[in-house]
Amino acid sequence: MAAAGATAIPPKTSERYAYSTFREQGARVNVFVDGYPASQRTADAFVPIPVAIAVMKYGEAIRFVPESFTLVDAGGNEVPAAGYQELTRGYDKIGFDRSLVRMRPIVVGSYVAGLLPIGASFYPPPESGARTQRVELASFTWFNDTLYFPRPPAGLSGVLTLKVAIPGADPIEVRFVASSDELARSIE
């Protein structure tokens, strides 16, 4: 009976850093995830997930590519980041998503915003030009971008997890919510 009660407890999110921004800290890296844009795409085939990653300590540079990111739904289903061609053929809202993120940027705090920003655009609108294939972060640098994932099989309800692969270290897993109802609740 105690085991049944223990499994009924919903999993906790990572630190809720702002209304829709969640944060996890690794040994050298902070990862922020914003669930709000995904909450606006409940019926679409692709899910926009803004992220910000900051390297906060000295060490070797860390390389990130879209394949560094995996979305895990509340049912445990893992979905790799969408391929750029797959996304641009099946989703026409990238420009709108970028406008939404510009109006409501991910919250990272002054200690990250004061680091050297590195430009990134893994998924630019098709007509906009240059696409970033990879981002390399040296010590005390950061980037932010919007990642895209195919809608996970269990949808966007419950606690989602963004897994970020870090070469030579354990992945960082940010647990967050991305539905309007769950964002409105205080989840810790």
Write the pLDDT tens digit of every residue in 62-72.
Answer: 999 999 999 99
Predicted TM-score (pTM) of the model is: 0.91
Assess contact for 35 and 176: CB atoms under 8 A.
Answer: yes
Q: What pLDDT digit, counting tens, does each position of 30-59 carry? A: 999 999 999 998 889 999 999 999 999 999
Assess contact for 94 and 124: CB atoms under 8 A.
Answer: yes
How far is residue 115's CA from residue 161's CA, in Å, rounded to a whole number? Answer: 26
Backbone φ and ψ of 85, nearest 5°: -65, -40
- Where exactly are the structural domains of the chain? 23-184
**Ranges of the chain with pLDDT below 50:** 1-6, 187-188
The topology (CATH level 3) of 23-184 is Immunoglobulin-like (2.60.40)
